Amino acid sequence: MKKTTLLNTKAKFIIALFLVASLTFGFTVTQKSDPEKDRVLISLLKFALTKGHYQPKDFNDSFSELVYKDFIKNLDPSKRYFLQSDIEDFSKYKYLIDDQIKSEDLTFFKLAYSRYKQRIEEVNQFYAALLKTPFNFNKREDIDIEYDDVKYAKTETERIKKWQKELKLNVISRLIDRIDLEKAKHKKDAGYKEKPFKEIEKEVRASTQKTMGDFFKRMLELNQDDGFSLFLNTITLAFDPHTTYFAPQDKKRFDISMAGKLEGIGARLQKKGDFTKVVELISGGPAWKKGELEVGDIILKVAQGSKEPVDIVGMRLDDAIEFIKGKKGTEVKLTLKKIDGSIKVISIIRDVVELEEVFAKSSIVEKKGVKYGIINLPKFYIDFKKASSRNAATDMAKQLEYLKQEKVQGVLIDLRNNGGGSLRTAIDIAGLFIKNGPVVQVRYRGEKPNIKEDRDKKIQWDGSLVVLVNEFSASASEIFAAAMQDYNRAVIIGSKQTFGKGTVQNILTLNNYVNYPKDLGALKMTIQKFYRVNGGSTQLKGVTSDVALPDRYAYMDIGERDEENPLAWDKIESAKYTPWNKYANFDEVVNKSKLRVRNSSYFNLANQNAKWLKKQQKRTRISLNFKTFNKELAERIKESKTFKKLREFDNDLVFKSPTYELPQLEKDSILTQKRANWHKNLSKDAYINEALNILSELKLKSTEHLVKS
């Protein structure tokens, strides 16, 4: 979860509001029915969102329409269960949901959810019959997977035809995999006789039927609580994408993951329609270390080691996670749909997140006879419970001191994929590079901003500085990068813009505010917004790089702007600050880099790749003719090979560990291997290379800092 930790006193105000609410509503409930629990939850959430959310919405007809559309979409994103007549039945509540929320009336929810369960049961009765006989793969037909443009079936016959296409797509994709597997077996063993098409097709239909049987079994086990949790989240997410209701079981899972005790692959997943999408890789986790799983990947199937994979398309996120997570040391195989549309199977050995992988680390590189330092910071970490434990700010100060001892002439800070962490450490780290002054402005709704300052006049590093970011540098990363940019302290290089999360959330355990015997779960609610010292928000727009480098996500809707109902960008009054004015050639260096990037064969190819990926993302009509499907797949694979050179880049630089770390490397072979892998990746990294080009060209008006220690 992208989350910026912020200790504040304002939370007490929200707690006080909840205590008043508990008295006002009179929720002293003993053994009541579940409908009473639902009423309590609706009342609590309504009050909290109205009184505590940073930018509350009016419960009016517009809000009602939004909840109406989103709840139906959340129930049936592929429009394969509901009929048009259902939508007509629901439509009379389109502008009444706001009134029902106010009066704790659950009529719309009960109607929509009970009809949804009814339609699932109906489909369960006929889907198997569609898999009894072979599909006509010679027929010229296709399926549109841009479901927003698809109409609901008007009749049962239309719905059956819709499901026939869905199942045919499932079978045809499995067929391609199985045929490729047969060819691979024959290639490995010339004596192996490949199975005929008819036999493979029959086996694939049988396995598809088994998978669908498991799927419907899980779907039919969904209960009223599952549906109501979804309804409550439809309401909370209408406020902003980070305001979320946690049902009791979800809250427990959240607590475990925040404590770092959850064993698995180390990825944050999100439901996108019928699909389970990777939205973040946890630094230090097994997926992060393996490097094959990427943000934006869609997980289609999950297999436990060598066992038959389970199709998780359409599966509830909770259930999908149960298949993916597991004990340390066990293998999970994921069938992925990559952002280029290709299908890839990867293997990950489950493990716990290795804390040391999250800590700041540094490397030394020599370019044209001059030394430079690189600091990688995966997260703005801190442990508020243990004052003596390591934190990102003190570690960063130590790394800078080590680099000064190495007599480096410039420092590059790599914040790529850094999803944030502690606000306090972001402020303290910014203070290592400026004398003193404001770093960020934090604002509660309707109040003047609270200016957070660096009050320490000591500067740990006053030499040249470059900060490398990408689309997944978020929250605290954006605060630090924005401060360095506003002070003209560093050149910001990387993606066109960072993630764009400029809000703060607070977790409220609901049972703390009402005397109720059952577990009510929790509410994660947006209560604050971040602003740069220049007054602009980091929300939505993030930080725009001084030098934008094309990458595979350049044209994708990635980040906060890809979320539903994000808070808008806005601007407040600038804080008073004095820009750092010690570069002699800042603009010249930035312009030279831009020209170099424009003329770079690597970055031009990267830009072409990004455009091609966007084109693949827009491709929503898929042929269900076997020959055409196979031909189009082969064409995409051939086109993707055009960009193979992007993986062959080598900057011809040698990266080494700083002197202080050498004794540790002699004692620790595992650490030695980790550093070797990191240094190898740095030598293959075109983005690091261009950042170092900039660093080598930056000149200061004074070189006095270079003789300091």
Average pLDDT over residues 179-183: 88
Alpha helices in 224-374 (DSSP H): 224-237, 248-258, 286-290, 317-324
Nearest to 484 by CA among 429, 530, 539: 429
Q: How are the residues of the chain apportioned to helix, strand and coil, as percentages rounded to the nearest 5?
A: 45, 20, 35
Q: Taking all residues of the chain, what is their mean pLDDT, rounded to a whole number? A: 89
Q: Which two tokens stand for residue 198?
A: 């008819």
pLDDT at 5: 40
Give 532-580 as a 3 state SS string: CCCCEECCCCCCECCEECCCCCCCCCCCHHHCCCCCCCCECCCCCCCCC
681: how many CB neighbours lie within 10 A of its CB? 12
Our answer to whether residue 475 is catalytic in this structure is: yes
Phi/psi at 347 (nearest 5 deg)? -115, 135
CA 19 and chain centroid, separation: 34
C-alpha dihedral (224, 226, 230, 233), degrees to nearest 10: 110
Q: Which residue has the tokens 């490949």?
A: 194
First to last CA, the chain: 39
Nearest to 324 by CA among 253, 385, 374: 253
Average pLDDT over residues 297-315: 86
- pLDDT value at 296 more than 90: no
Q: pLDDT digits over 92-135, tens only?
A: 999 999 999 999 999 999 999 999 999 999 999 999 999 999 99
- Residues 6+ positions from 354 with CB-CB distance below 8 Å: 284, 285, 289
Domains of the chain by residue range: 261-349, 355-707
Phi/psi at 333 (nearest 5 deg)? -110, 125
Which of 70, 86, 486, 685 is catalytic? The answer is 486
- Contact call for residues 38 and 106 (beta carbons, < 8 A): yes
Q: For the purposes of burial, counting CB atoms within 10 Å of the CB of 336, is it exposed (0-12), middle (13-18) or buried (19 or more)?
A: buried
Average pLDDT over residues 483-512: 95
Candidate from 187-196, 308-317, 548-557 with smallest mean pLDDT: 308-317
H helix or E strand, kind and range, residue 167: helix 156-188
- pLDDT value at 374 more than 90: yes
Q: Which two tokens stand for residue 708?
A: 């300091």
Q: pLDDT digits over 317-352, tens only?
A: 778 888 888 888 999 999 988 877 778 899 999 887
Strands, E assignment, 282-338: 298-304, 310-311, 331-337
Measured CA to CA, the distance from residue 498 to residue 484 in angstroms comes to 14
Assign residue 348 a region: left if phi > 0, alpha if psi is -120 to 50, beta otherwise? beta
Which of 229, 283, 464, 475 is catalytic? The answer is 475
Q: For the purposes of burial, counting CB atoms within 10 Å of the CB of 271, is it exposed (0-12), middle (13-18) or buried (19 or more)?
A: middle
Phi/psi at 452 (nearest 5 deg)? -95, 125
Q: pLDDT digits over 1-59, tens only?
A: 344 443 344 444 444 443 333 333 333 333 334 788 899 999 999 999 999 999 999 99
Q: pLDDT digits over 215-255, tens only?
A: 898 889 888 888 999 999 999 999 999 999 988 877 666 55
Share of the chain above pLDDT 70, in %: 92
Our answer to whether residue 144 is catalytic in this structure is: no
Nearest to 500 by CA among 465, 521, 474: 474
CATH class of 261-349: mainly beta
- pLDDT value at 76 more than 90: yes
Domains 261-349 and 355-707 share a fold: no
β-pairing, 522-531 vs 503-509, is antiparallel
- Contact call for residues 549 and 495 (beta carbons, < 8 A): yes
Is the dihedral angle over the CA atoms 600, 602, 608, 613 positive or is it negative? negative
pLDDT at 523: 94
268: how many CB neighbours lie within 10 A of its CB? 16
β-pairing, 547-548 vs 491-494, is parallel
Q: How much is the pTM?
A: 0.87
pLDDT at 703: 56
Q: pLDDT digits over 397-428, tens only?
A: 999 999 999 999 999 999 999 999 899 999 99
> Running DSSP on this structure, what letter comes out for residue 27?
-
C-alpha dihedral (497, 501, 503, 508), degrees to nearest 10: -170
b/e per residue 41-63 (b: at least 16 CB within 10 A): bbbbbbbbbeebbbeebebeeeb
Nearest to 337 by CA among 272, 267, 277, 269: 277
pLDDT at 29: 36
Q: Which two tokens stand for residue 245?
A: 């209701």
- Contact call for residues 86 and 119 (beta carbons, < 8 A): yes
Which of 37, 367, 501, 529 is catalytic? The answer is 501
- pLDDT value at 480 more than 90: yes
Tally of residues, the chain: 709
- pLDDT value at 260 more than 50: no
Q: pLDDT digits over 619-664, tens only?
A: 889 999 999 999 998 998 899 999 999 999 999 999 999 999 999 9
Q: For the purposes of burial, counting CB atoms within 10 Å of the CB of 87, is it exposed (0-12), middle (13-18) or buried (19 or more)?
A: middle
Give 457-506 as a 3 state SS string: CCCCCCCEEEEEECCCCCCHHHHHHHHHHHCCCCEEEECCECCCCCEEEE
694: how many CB neighbours lie within 10 A of its CB? 23
- Residues 6+ positions from 10 with CB-CB distance below 8 Å: 444, 527, 528
b/e per residue 643-656 (b: at least 16 CB within 10 A): beebeeeebebebe
Q: What fold characterizes domain 355-707?
A: 2-enoyl-CoA Hydratase; Chain A, domain 1 (3.90.226)
Phi/psi at 268 (nearest 5 deg)? -100, 130
CA 1 and chain centroid, separation: 8
Our answer to whether residue 486 is catalytic in this structure is: yes
